[in-house]
Structures are given as C-alpha cells and as structure tokens.
Amino acid sequence: MYKILSWTAAIIWLALIFNLSSQVAEQSNELSTGITEVIINTVEKFAPQAEFDIKSFNNVIRKKAHFFAYLVLGVLVLNALRRSGVHGYRSVIIALGICVLYAISDEVHQLFVTGRGGQVKDVIIDSAGAGVGIGAYQVAGRLVKR
C-alpha cells in the first residue's frame, strides 16, 4: 500500500513540474511575480524601510522554486524506491539519476513552449535541489533510527 502511495506522490509531483513547465512565458512570469509580490509585501510589514528590486528578486524566487521543486522530487523518488525495496547507495544513485534525467527532459520540453527556453543552469539548480532532498532524506532516516 505504501509503495503505491509513494509512487503516486512522486508521479503527481512530476506532473506538477511538467504542468508548470508547460506554461507559456507570460503565464509563468505572472505566477512568479505574484508570489514575489506576496513575499515583498510580507517582508515590508516587518521591515518597512526595506527596498527591493522586484525584477531581480523575481529571478531569485524563480531559481529557488526550481531548487525546491526538485528537492521535493528527490525526497519523493527516494522514498518510493525505498518502499519498493531498493536500499543503500543504489537507491540514492537511482533517485538522483531519475531526478537529473527529468530535469534535463524538463529543460528540453521548455524549448517547445512559447517564450520559454531550456537552460543548463536550471538543470544544475534542479539537480542540486534533488541532491539536497535526497541527502536530507538520508539524514532524517538515520536520525529516526537512533
């Protein structure tokens, strides 16, 4: 049962990433700008004298979103593999491989989306996020065993 739920969660997350990557540039920018504005408004409530360059901050938010999305993907894929009986370094290598290959395919996919483009930098950010997620899962697993 947990195996099916784990793979279902990973596949749903993959579909979410695909859906977000399928947005044309204008839609994608609108979404990230909206999130950026919410963050800026929240920060300004606590630090009214803070000044932000929305365009630069929006770019940071977009890159952090890449990192976070793949961090979650790394956790979900490693968990699904572990629930499927794949353990040790083999599960880590397979999980990272799946995430990196998906990051590459995601950037290739964006080459065909209006106004979007694939970037090697995004594959690196995505892969780093997946690696951190996988590492966090490993550390959390060891802490829980103790």
Give tens-digit pLDDT for 12-28: 999 999 999 998 868 87
**Who contacts 14 (Cβ-Cβ below 8 Å, separation ≥6)?**
73, 102
Residue 24's CB is within 10 A of a number of other CB atoms, namely: 12
pLDDT tens per residue across span 91-101? 999 999 999 99
Q: Where exactly are the structural domains of the chain?
A: 2-145
pLDDT tens per residue across span 32-80? 777 777 777 787 788 777 777 767 777 888 888 899 999 999 999 999 9
Confidence (pLDDT) at 63: 85
For the residues of 112-134, what is the DSSP string, one character each?
A: TSTT----HHHHHHHHHHHHHHH
Share of the chain above pLDDT 70, in %: 99
Cα gap 29→23, rounded to integer Å: 9
Q: What angle do CA 42, 46, 52 make, to 5 degrees?
A: 60
Burial of 75 (0-12, 13-18, 19+ CB in 10 A): buried
Confidence (pLDDT) at 77: 98
pTM of the model: 0.86
Helix axes 54-83, 88-110, angle to 10 degrees: 140
